[in-house]
Each structure stands twice: as structure tokens, then as C-alpha cells.
Structure 1
């Protein structure tokens, strides 16, 4: 999505939601299924002359001013909330410089509808989406060759530089859109490869274990998303589980193997267009995550998420937590033939909001 005139570029990147395979996906090569959603981060880039700005609707009081010193950006204000955006800029400008592009000044504006109007986080991957949208906008601005694979790799490096952990599945969902099966690449390999290869080379070679497959859901599948109203910190939860995995290595390995089998069966369910198989494996994945929570002493399925799942099961849906759990969202996969109004009403009574979101396909 772009409109370009007089060096004004506008692009969007969608948010994401995990359907299955959480926690296991942070290990190299272990699969997860995600969807991109029709809520977006929008980035606009407009060429300027002597200085640039970075503005966000979400941080109205702190626009960031910068100027050029040759190829470098010099900031007036280093105490800022724009870490992911700056990392994305740094990476994309390195890519532009590797292609001998002239560095310019520009105003970059960000707007997001991934959080609630009062600023509460839904857990839809806003940091990933803003990274992807920034990289995409600057690639258009500098007229750089860009494919989805290059967009993913640039965004993944930029995101990892700030966050330091995670699977990058949320980046993949923002780049590829729709329903995807994702296996994460070897992060240790990337660390050493960055010392070995220049950026241009790193973007062109295959990354070990990385795999993204676009999935088509059965026609009778409906996805419901419920939000518990309490945000969760993915990084902290993933770290907490990571600390326990060293202590309980065998149990953790059992979890990983079971998760992989569950996800491979679920992916087959998509290939066979079978909602029954997908639902069966959603339920299995929920059990595995509950077991991981017990193993790690981490509350993945909070009492409200538990109620979200149980009420959905009574309504003939298959339900589980989405993402790291500990709050945020739960998902339900249900046959379209069932009326979901009663379920939505029950959710409302116990303080769960059904989010009016749909899967977003990327056509460009």
C-alpha cells in the first residue's frame, strides 16, 4: 500500500496474533501459526531540506529532531521512545548506503491503531509492525530493491538489535500477511554471520531453518479474538520460561517435541481444509502451554483467560491463550455455522472484550 507524490510515501504494516506454537517457536526451527490482522501501523516519509523529524501520534509530546552529518543522523534528543523506529532507520540506511544511494533528510510520521484508544496494549505486535512499516517506507523513499524476504530480514535484524530475544514471528506476520506457518531462524548463526558478511550479502543468502508458509484456512473457519483488558510483557514471560528450561531440560524437550508434532498436524489440517483437525490441535496446544506454565511456575493462562477458553469450549469452539499469555488475548476457532452472540455476551459479563478484528491479506 503506498501513494507517492513529491517524495511523500505512505505505507502500512498489520499487527499480528499467535494462533498456536508459542514459546516453542523461540527455538530454532520449531513451528508456529500466526495471523496478520486488519489493524495497522502507518508510516509516512516526506523529504525535507535541512533537518528531519520523527513524530508519532502515540507520543505527541516528544517529536524527535535530527539533522545530517554526512551519512550519519545526529539527534537533538536521545531520551526518546523511538528505539525500534531508530533501529529500523539505521538498518535501512545501511542497506541504502550499500547500494550507493545519497542520504537525505526527511520527516517520518507514525500512527498506530494497534492499541486501544486509551493507550492500552492489546498485544498485537506493535513494535514489530512499526519496525516493518518503517523499513518498508524508507525502502520506497530511497527506491531500494525490496522483496518480502529482504523486508523480513532487515526488520528482523532491526528488531533483534533492540529486543534481544523472541522468535520474530510477529515480524513475519507483518511482512507476509494472512495466515502463516513460521519457523524461526538460528539467532546464534545470525550473530556470527553479521560479523562475517556485509549487509547486502546477509540479505541475499539463506538463513538456516527460516521458513514461512502461507496457509489457506477452511472456508467454514471463524476466528474470534477476546481481550482480557490486562496487558502482558512477552519479553519478561519468555525470559522467565527460559530460566526454567535449563533446570528442567528433559521436560522442556518433551514440550518442544510435543509442540512440534501438534503444529505439524495443525498445518496438515490447513492443507486438508479440515476445521476438526485444526480445533483438535488447538486444544492440544492449550494443554501443552498449561503444562509448560506449571513446569516454569509462570502464569500463562490467567484466571480470565481460563474463563475465556472454557466459555468458548461450551459454545463448540476450540480456544487457547494467544502469544505469551499472562494477559492480553485468547483466540477461538469455531465453525461458522454456530451463532457466537451468546458467547460474546458471556464474555462481556466477565469483563472480556471481543475485538472486532479480521485476518488481513497482503497483496502487494
Structure 2
């Protein structure tokens, strides 16, 4: 049996702007994992997951037909990851085999509700890693990112793939996405071996080391959100409100670049100020795009954190899920968490997951 794991993630800053090449985001890997085990079998294989049996799928009506959104179905990410890796394995001269795949996720609560930690990305990465080891393909971490990004993009069709990067590389990451039109073109005309070997236009993945006194606190509103649907709505606003969207992109780029410099210079106040500015930019995006990114629950989470000296904002697509707070020695975390509890905000006991030689 081969067993691998991939961590979940949270965005710290730069959400939505990171959908466009050249616009960076900060993202972290967290110590909650999806674990995939693979065992060779004969004749017939299985894919098993206790958690995903309880997954809710979104659907709508088209005439008399029920239309399902495959982006909410984790098995589509798993199946696409298998397809992509096995296509590469065939290109490299390997014989395909039959296997059982067992998936175990820590990225949901006991009732199956998602925390918003990037479960679709983590299951894609974990599946890719398991199959690479199963077929003994000589690939590095960047190759794994590219394969998982292709599989995830083929299913979701949008997103920056920064969550894939966090799940592959771990730790704190400055991430800028690649040219999606380029990827669509090469997927039609090139082999996977050629695509993996290529430089991807616009892609930047930089590992960062944050100041030791900076701590990350995560609150969960208990209200899961669908990232793909929220991104769809922002995409509509991108074309309907072109100038406001361009202003948002430029402001977000400057904000995140300043935060990255602050991290490298260990300037905690610069990083915290960047969180607060990024929150305002995201709220402005929500207003002109008419998307409820910072829900009342997330606003309350942030306000409580700010009252105790933390720098807070929603994380990722918003619409529910998690808020993040950056704290330092001046913040009384115990009192902040107690205040959250009084407002039914759950503190997730998570820390940043760093990759080492022992847990790659």
C-alpha cells in the first residue's frame, strides 16, 4: 500500500485579483490533510471515501432536465487526476494497472460541512502524488503542481490554482497564476510530457518565511460557500464593470507586493496594515460586483478580532467559510477567542504546515 497526504490551505491576501496573471496572492498550507492510499488489485478497482458519500451536489433545471455542477463533486477531481497522471504514465512507457483508492479527509466537520480549506485542490494533489508514486514516475514538486493544476482546471474551469500550489509546496507562498489561454491551447496540441517540461507563462511560486512573532488565527462561521459559483459571478462583474475591476486589480497588486516586502523585512505592522487594506479592497469588489463576499458573520468575526488588536479579513472566495487574523505579542488571543465563542464563531485549531524532508 502507498499512502500520501496533501494539506488544506487558506488565502491570506490577494484573493480574486490572483485570478489574473501578474497579480500575486499570499496563501498558506495548513495542518489538516486529505490522505490517499492506493493498493494494486486484480480485475476491478474501487474508489472509497466515507466523507464524500455525504457531499451535497448543486444542480439546476434546464427545461425538464436536472443539470449537475461537476465542480461540487470531489470524485470528478479524483477521476480527472487519475486520467491526467495515467496519460503521462503511458507517454513515459508504463503499463497501466488496476488499483483501489481510499480517501480520508480532515477538511470537513463531523457533519460533512466544508471548512473552506481547499478540499478539491487537496484531493487532486493527493491523488496525483499517490499515482506518481504508484507508477514510479520521476517527477519533482513543480511537475506535481502542473499535473494537479491541469486536472483541477479541467474540472473547475476557473480559479487561480494557488490552492494547488499551497497543497504541493506547503508553508507560506507568494503565488501568481499562469496564462489560462496558453494552457487551453497547449492541452489541445501538446503531450503532457511537453507541457510539464514547459515554462508556464506568468507562473510564480515563491516560498516565504514570516516573522516568528506573527501568528495566524482562523475563525469559521459555520456557513460553507461554493468558490466556483462566487468566482463565476465575479467574472461577470469583470466585464460589466471594467474600470472598477482594473482599479481593484492594481490596488490589490500594490497591496500584496508591499506585504511580501514586509514579510521579507520582518515588519509585522506592514503585514498587518496590508491585511486591513486588502479587506477594504475585497469589500469594494463585493459592492460593485454585487457579490456578498464579506457576509455579516465574517464582518462580525473581523470586527471582534480588530477590537482585540488583530488584523482580520475574510479568506478566499468569502461568502461564508473562514476569516483569518494576524496577531502578534500585543494581542490577547484567549480573550479574542472567548469573544468569538460568544458569537458562535468556531476557532479552528490549525497551524501552518511546512514541508520537510520527512513529510514530503
Which TM class, normalised by the smaller chain length?
over 0.9
Contact 1:225 1:330 survives alignment (8 Å): yes
- Tell me, yes or no, if the aligned pair for 2:81 and 2:152 is still in contact at 8 Å: yes
In structure 2, distance between residues paired with 1:151 and 1:328: 27
TM-score normalized with structure 2 length: 0.93
Residue by residue over 1:184-219, the C-alpha shift from the partner in whole angstroms, topping out at 9 and shown as x without a partner, is 000011001112221101000100000000010101
RMSD: 1.3
Q: How big is each residue's C-alpha offset from its partner over 1:223-260, in whole Å with a ceiling of 9 and x where there is no partner?
A: 00000010111111111111112111111100000000
Task: After TM superposition, give the deviation of residue 339 of structure 1 in Å.
Answer: 2.1
In structure 2, how many angstroms separate the alpha carbons of the residues matched to 1:238 and 1:270? 28
2:166–2:173 Cα contact (<8 Å) kept: yes
C-alpha displacement of 1:9? 0.4
Cα gap change, 1:81 to 1:121, in 2 (>3 Å): closer
Q: Could you give the per-residue CA deviations for residues 298-335 of structure 1, whole angstroms, max 9, x where no partner exists? A: 11111111111111111111000000111000000010
Structure 1: distance between partners of 2:269 and 2:31: 26
Please, what TM-score do these two structures have when normalized by structure 1? 0.92
- Report if aligned partners of 2:31, 2:353 keep a CA contact under 8 Å in 1: yes
Moved segments of 4+, more than 6 Å = none
Instruction: From the superposition, tell whether residues 81 and 232 of structure 1 become closer, same or farther in structure 2 (CA, over 3 Å).
Output: closer
SS in 2 for 1:333: strand
After superposition, residues 1-364 of structure 1 pair within 5 angstroms as 8-59=1-52, 82-363=75-356, 364=360
Give me the whole-angstrom Cα distance separating, in 2, the residues matched to 1:101 and 1:167.
31
Note if contact 1:29-1:186 (Cα within 8 Å) is conserved in structure 2: no
State whether residues 74 and 123 of structure 2, in contact with CA within 8 Å, keep that contact through their aligned partners in structure 1.
no
Question: What are structure 2's unaligned runs of at least 5 residues?
Answer: 56-72
Distance in 2 between residues matched to 1:61 and 1:226, nearest whole Å: 24
Once the two structures are overlaid, the 10-residue window that deviates more, 307-316 or 337-346, is 337-346
Does the 8 Å contact 1:220/1:337 carry over to 2? Answer: no
Aligned residues: 340
Q: Deviations over 1:75-118 (max 9, x none)?
A: xxxxx861110000000001111110111111110000111111
